[in-house]
């Protein structure tokens, strides 16, 4: 017992010494990294806090002392943004588009990534690189071709009126195509880290490849699936250029278009309070989503490396 205790103490002392030595060697680098994190946190958090504070102020208070507390909380700013600026309708449109866009992206992206990661075939690498090459092209280069592609989809018999310009279905299809490169790139690397013994045992027992994917491999890849899904939700929720080109009817607008409209009108109507209230309504859902799923995102990003 004494020998075991002394051995454990020696190991603990050795680890403590190693940590102190590592901190001593990385002292300047550690201080620099912490300073950069503090600066980055301030640059991110301060504008958000100021937006939240401005959303309950009057216009005179907004253009007065930037960090002064309001005389009273003006919740009518949110009511005015929700009703008069139609933010409620735009938010509902965004929820519909992002929900179907993320669902379609994750379904198609996970299946494509699984096949590319687990099934060797001729041209596998070329198909994977074709997907990944989509990350190299900014969305601005594709706006004009996408406009004509979606416009031509509107000429398809029967399905045309539902997937053409000024339709949410057309925007959902573009969102799926826009999000697939990152989804396939991330999930293919994640699927490669999963053990093959479980899938092989299921195949030996008579399970089909489809059943193996949906009932075995997909649950095992849950951390990566959740992480990529959250990133896709954030990216599609904040997308502005694609809806601006593909949705021109006001009643079909998404939230980013509605906020941009308030911002443009604010230069003439001076309704800055409603603008900041609308920005707060746009920020809060994504802030809640990220806060709730923070641990899943972190575990998904590190699972591949840990395995």
34 and 82 part of one domain:
no
87 and 197 part of one domain:
yes
30 and 92 part of one domain:
no
Q: Sign of the C-alpha dihedral, residues 201, 205, 209, 211?
A: negative
CATH of residue 269: 1.10.3720.10
Q: Is the CB of residue 197 less than 8 Å from the CB of residue 187?
A: no
23 and 140 part of one domain:
no
Look up the domain containing 15 and give its range. Answer: 1-41
What is the mean pLDDT of the segment spanning 261-272? 71
146 and 6 part of one domain:
no
What are the pLDDT digits (tens) for 44-89? 899 999 999 999 999 888 888 878 888 889 999 999 889 888 899 9
Q: How many CB atoms lie within 10 A of CB 30?
A: 13
| DSSP 8-state class, residue 68 | P
92 and 220 part of one domain:
yes
192 and 295 part of one domain:
yes
27 and 147 part of one domain:
no
Mean pLDDT taken over the chain? 84
Q: Kindly give, in sequence order, each residue whose CB lies less than 8 Å from that of residue 261, ignoring residues fewer than 6 positions away.
A: 85, 253
The Cβ-side half-sphere exposure at 184, using a 13 Å CA radius, reads 27
286: closest CA among 260, 255, 263? 255
Q: Kindly give, in sequence order, each residue whose CB lies less than 8 Å from that of residue 73, ignoring residues fewer than 6 positions away.
A: 56
198 and 120 part of one domain:
yes
What is the mean pLDDT of the segment spanning 10-39? 66
| DSSP 8-state class, residue 138 | -
If pLDDT is split at 50, 70 and 90, which confidence band does 18 have? low
90 and 31 part of one domain:
no
* The token pair that represents 221 in the structure block: 């890849």
pLDDT reported for residue 3: 47
Number of domains the chain is built from: 2
The answer to whether position 67 is within a domain reads no
The answer to whether position 46 is within a domain reads no
Sequence-ordered strand ranges (E) for 103-203: none
If pLDDT is split at 50, 70 and 90, which confidence band does 23 have? low
């Amino acid at each position: 017992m004494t020998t075991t205790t002394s051995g454990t103490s020696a190991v603990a002392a050795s680890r403590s010494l190693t940590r102190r030595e590592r901190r001593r060697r990385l002292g300047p680098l550690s201080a620099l990294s912490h300073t950069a994190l503090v600066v980055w946190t301030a640059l991110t958090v301060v504008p958000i806090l100021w937006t939240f504070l401005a959303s309950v102020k009057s216009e005179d208070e907004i253009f007065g002392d930037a960090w002064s507390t309001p005389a009273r909380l003006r919740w009518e700013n949110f009511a005015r943004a929700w009703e008069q600026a139609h933010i409620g309708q735009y938010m509902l449109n965004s929820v519909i588009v992002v929900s179907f866009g993320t669902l379609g992206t994750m379904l198609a992206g996970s299946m494509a990534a699984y096949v590319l990661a687990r099934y060797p075939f001729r041209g596998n690498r070329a198909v994977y690189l074709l997907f990944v090459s989509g990350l190299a092209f900014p969305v601005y280069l594709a706006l004009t071709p996408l406009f004509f592609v979606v416009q031509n989809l509107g000429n398809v018999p029967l399905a045309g009126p539902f997937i053409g310009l000024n339709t949410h279905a057309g925007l959902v299809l573009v969102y799926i195509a826009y999000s697939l490169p990152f989804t396939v790139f991330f999930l293919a690397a994640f699927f490669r880290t999963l053990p093959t013994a479980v899938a092989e045992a299921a195949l030996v027992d008579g399970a089909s490849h489809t059943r193996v994917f949906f009932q075995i491999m997909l649950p095992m890849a849950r951390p990566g699936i959740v992480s990529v899904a959250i990133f896709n939700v954030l990216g599609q929720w904040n997308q502005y250029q694609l809806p601006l080109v593909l949705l021109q009817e006001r009643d079909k607008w998404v939230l980013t278009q509605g906020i941009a409209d308030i911002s443009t009108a604010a230069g003439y109507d001076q309704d800055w309070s409603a603008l900041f209230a609308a920005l707060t309504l746009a920020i809060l859902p994504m802030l809640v989503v990220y806060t709730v799923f923070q641990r899943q995102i972190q575990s998904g990003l590190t699972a591949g490396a840990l395995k």
